Structure 1
Amino acid sequence: MNAIKLTDRRGDTDKVLTERIANALRVQLPRRYRLATEMNLLYSLDQHGISLSTLYRLVKNTKGPIVLVVKDADDNVFGAFLNETLKSGSRYYGTGECFLWKWSETESKITTYKWTGKNEYMILSEPDFIAIGGGEGVFGLWINSELEKGYSQPCPTFDNERLTPNPEFECVELEVWGFRI
């Protein structure tokens, strides 16, 4: 399989998703998306500014899955594969293809947390936050409307570990990627 190409990121934009991470993540995708040869940047804090409404607007015409990538103040890189694009609403959506993931730079390894079947709390994206996975009063990944603060807790949807060493994190970079198949 050829390496995946990352497109539509300006040269002066800080990289969060690298080719190395994208290729490690690709192996974990549902089979039909592994064929993608390109991923295109739909939204970046660095390129598009800090606005959840801008994020929703820029990704709304995307058909198919997306990858959410976060870099925190401690240089941890993590995120989610979502079978649908993010959209503002008040109900959970998405299917069991969704998963959370985190990257270990020291091990050059991606760890994924797939759907457990315990609930269907995949994606909840309201005007005030984005939440991935949930149950028992916690979210696997939660990011506030200013895209600056978040938290990660083990949740029943994915039986995940925290994606960051501490439950709360400061989001310094965030990207949303689509697929070109």
Structure 2
Amino acid sequence: MRPASLPPALTSPSSSSFSPPPLAPLQITGYAPSTNSRLLSRALAEEIRLLLPARLQLHENWTLAYSLEQHGVSLATLYRRGMKGSFVLVVKDSAGGIFGAFVNEPFHPSGRYYGTGECFLWKASILPTRAIRFKAFPYSGINDYMILCDNTSLSVGGGDGKYGLWLDDIFEKGVSQSCMTFGNEPLSEEGEKFEVIGVELWRIG
């Protein structure tokens, strides 16, 4: 059963004649000059931004907290570098697919589910015209299996033994299945299991 109301950024526009001022363009910072694999473009960030809670849409700066290329292969490092705030996780698979999650609390090894219905999963693909085909999967209200982390893996979404998005501790293997939390389709075109090529974690604000 879906919740009575969705987070503000996911509801339909009001019929009110009031129109909020346009958002200032995003600035994404933190890539080193030598970084070759840059997963998040400003255009993709703007697509994700439109689905964030209204209070977070106002933030004009996203900062790279963790990058597999820049900071090494370590889930512990991602936990340590993403200690406070709300985050966008970006994953690239070996087929070139880009997908991820928004989480309203930091990833940390709690051993139990946490987070709220503001979380969502997303996937994107670049069309031949360079336009972005973007799909998002908001909270379904069926369960509260948002974020689950320990020292061996992190995941977003779950239920019935399935994971919306799961990554191992060395960012080598991943899983994405249709899960009850978000009612999503598998995020990777490789299938439910995929090979991880890149991981980034972006702090909002």
Under a length normalisation based on structure 1, what TM-score does the superposition of the two structures give?
A: 0.96
Residue 179 of structure 1 corresponds to which residue in structure 2?
A: 204
Q: Specify which of 38, 43, 56 is matched with residue 33 of structure 1.
A: 56
Residue 167 of structure 1 corresponds to which residue in structure 2?
A: 192
Shift of 1:44: 0.3
The CA deviation string for residues 42-70 of structure 1, in whole angstroms up to 9 with x for no partner, is: 0000000000111111112x2x2100000
Shift of 1:109: 2.4
- Could you tell me which runs of 5 or more consecutive residues in structure 1 were left unpaired when the two chains were aligned: none
Residue 117 of structure 1 corresponds to which residue in structure 2?
A: 141
Shift of 1:179: 1.4
- Could you tell me which runs of 5 or more consecutive residues in structure 2 were left unpaired when the two chains were aligned: 1-22
The alignment covers a number of residue pairs equal to 178
Residue 151 of structure 1 corresponds to which residue in structure 2?
A: 175
Residue 54 of structure 1 corresponds to which residue in structure 2?
A: 77
CA distance in 2, matches of 1:37, 1:22: 11
Normalized per residue, the structure richer in strand is 1
Residue 77 of structure 1 corresponds to which residue in structure 2?
A: 98
Matched AA of 2:58: L
Matched AA of 1:71: K
Superposition RMSD on alpha carbons, in Å?
Answer: 0.9
CA distance in 1, matches of 2:132, 2:144: 31
| Identity %, equivalent residues | 43
Q: Secondary structure, in 3 states, of the residue corresponding to 1:33?
A: helix
CA distance in 2, matches of 1:39, 1:161: 27
Shift of 1:85: 0.7
CA distance in 2, matches of 1:12, 1:24: 26
Please list every run of at least 4 consecutive aligned residues from structure 1 whose deviation after the TM superposition is greater than 4 angstroms.
none
Matched AA of 1:86: F
CA distance in 1, matches of 2:153, 2:52: 25
Please identify the structure whose Cα radius of gyration is greater: 2
